[in-house]
Amino acid sequence: MLFKNQKATYMAYPSELASTLNQDAAQKSKQWLSKWPLLSPNATPLWSMKGTAHALGIKSLWIKDESKRSQLGSFKALGAPNALIKLILKHFPAFEADKILLGAYREQLANFAVVSATDGNHGRALAAASQSSGCPCTIVIHAQVSKEREDAIAAYDATMVRIAGNYDESVEEADRIAKENGWTVVSDTSYEGYTEIPRDVMQGYGVMAAEIVEQLEDNQKKPTHIILQGGVGGLAAGVFSYFWEHYGVERPIFVIVEPSQADCLYQSAIQGKPASATGSVDSIMAGLACGETSQIAWRFLQPSVDYFALIEDQDAIDSMLQLAQGYHEDTPIVGGESGVAGLALLRKLVEQDQLDVLELNANSEVLIINTEGATAPELFKELTGLTAEEVIAKQ
Ligand X SMILES: Cc1ncc(COP(=O)(O)O)c(C=O)c1O
What is the nearest approach in angstroms of ligand X to the Cβ of residue 308?
13
Which of 109, 235 has the CB closer to ligand X? 235
Binding region for ligand X (CB under 6 A) out of 153-161, 225-233, 305-313, 357-365: 225-233
- C-alpha–C-alpha distance, residues 165 and 177, integer Å: 15
Count of Cβ atoms closer than 10 Å to residue 96 Cβ: 11
What is the nearest approach in angstroms of ligand X to the Cβ of residue 46?
17
Count of Cβ atoms closer than 10 Å to residue 36 Cβ: 21
φ, ψ at 371 (rounded to 5°)? -75, -15
Q: What angle do CA 142, 148, 151 make, to 5 degrees?
A: 80
Check 28, 76, 86, 348 and give the catalytic one: 76
For ligand X, the binding residues in 184-223 under the rule CB under 6 A are 188
Active site (annotated) includes residue 65:
no
What is the nearest approach in angstroms of ligand X to the Cβ of residue 328?
24
Check 119, 168, 200, 315 and give the catalytic one: 119
User: In the sheet that 137-141 helps form, which strands lie side by side, from edge to edge?
Assistant: 159-162, 137-141, 114-118, 184-185
Which helix (H) or strand (E) element contains residue 60? strand 60-65
Q: Residue 285: name the closest of 254, 266, 261, 256 by CA.
A: 261
| 234 is a site residue for ligand X (CB under 6 A) | yes
For ligand X, the binding residues in 323-342 under the rule CB under 6 A are 338-339
For ligand X, the binding residues in 96-155 under the rule CB under 6 A are 119, 121-122
For ligand X, the binding residues in 73-92 under the rule CB under 6 A are 74, 76
Integer-rounded Cα Rg, in Å, for the chain is 19
Binding region for ligand X (CB under 6 A) out of 217-225, 231-239, 312-320, 360-368: 231-239
What is the nearest approach in angstroms of ligand X to the Cβ of residue 361?
27
| 316 is a site residue for ligand X (CB under 6 A) | no
Phi-psi region of 187 (alpha: psi -120 to 50; beta: other; left: phi over 0): beta
Contact at 8 Å (CB) between 175 and 208?
no
Which of 5, 112 has the CB closer to ligand X? 5
Which of 318, 372 has the CB closer to ligand X? 372
Which positions lie near ligand X, rule CB under 6 A? 74, 76, 119, 121-122, 188, 229-236, 287-288, 290, 338-339, 371-372
Catalytic residues: 76, 119
